[in-house]
Amino acid sequence: MAIRYPNGRQYTPKNKTVKNESKKKSDVLAKNKLTFSNRGKSLEDEIDEANMFYLQRGTAVIHKKPVPVQIVKVAYPSRSAAVIQEAYFRTPSTTDYNGVYNGYYIDFDAKETKNKTSFPLQNVHEHQVTHMRAATKQQGICFLLVCFSTLERFFVLPFDVLDSAWQAMEKGARKSIPLNVFEEQAIEITESYAPRLDYLKAVDQLLSAL
């Protein structure tokens, strides 16, 4: 029996009208085939998406810190929100992301490079190293989330590996970390669906090695 709306028009379930939807969906899945390609999303968006997922599932509470600005002038137009009319960017003193995961303090920064063979240390700022060194001393879990965008490979680079390379650089050694060091000493983030950049899975491996 056909179901009808009160106005007499027949009700047609939506999944019947869009005949090719399931085929289309499988095409998209095949195209993406468990890779990080064709996303059109920035690394920051991917991390935000993962953090939102973790928060909703009760897996972890990790947030991006706001960009620090020095506010100089604020106007209060009547009947509307306050408008900041003059402000300046300040240098952050920490990394961009921190939070708590199953009792662990998590602290990291996200870095992206188009380089295919190594990660240039000029992507990292002195204050970030100093901060992660201090947080590591407090038993925090610190790392860099590094994206080799051309290779579409993502790694969780433990802070101690970064710190060794950083200190070596300060003594005159190379100014980058080769990809093979990542392959040996970092943890590659394997592709996932929900969230797509499931970086805590890599952090779990980091934690199990503690």
Residue 139 engages a copy of itself in binding (rule: CB under 8 A): yes
Residue 60 engages a copy of itself in binding (rule: CB under 8 A): yes
- The string of DSSP letters for 2-35 reads --B-TTSPBP--HHHHSTTHHHHHHHHHHHHTTS
User: Quick check: 180 and 153 in contact, CB under 8 A?
Assistant: no
Phi/psi for 178 (5° steps) reads -65, 150
Instruction: Provide the greatest CA pair distance for the chain.
Output: 82
φ/ψ region of 35 (left if φ > 0, alpha if ψ in -120 to 50, else beta) reads: beta
Q: Which residue, 89 or 193, is less far from a copy of itself as judged by CB?
A: 89
User: Quick check: 146 and 182 in contact, CB under 8 A?
Assistant: yes
Residue 173 engages a copy of itself in binding (rule: CB under 8 A): no
Q: Which residue, 194 or 210, is less far from a copy of itself as judged by CB?
A: 210
Q: Which residue, 29 or 84, is less far from a copy of itself as judged by CB?
A: 84
Stretch that binds a copy of itself, among 8-16, 20-28, 127-135, 172-180 (CB under 8 A): 127-135
Residue 77 engages a copy of itself in binding (rule: CB under 8 A): no
User: Quick check: 65 and 83 in contact, CB under 8 A?
Assistant: no
Residue 94 engages a copy of itself in binding (rule: CB under 8 A): yes
Residue 98 engages a copy of itself in binding (rule: CB under 8 A): yes
User: Quick check: 210 and 103 in contact, CB under 8 A?
Assistant: no
Q: Which residue, 8 or 58, is less far from a copy of itself as judged by CB?
A: 58
Binding site for a copy of itself (CB under 8 A): 55, 58, 60-61, 63, 65-69, 71, 81-90, 92-94, 98-105, 107, 131, 134-135, 137-140
Per the annotation, binding residues for Mg(2+) are: 94, 96, 109, 128
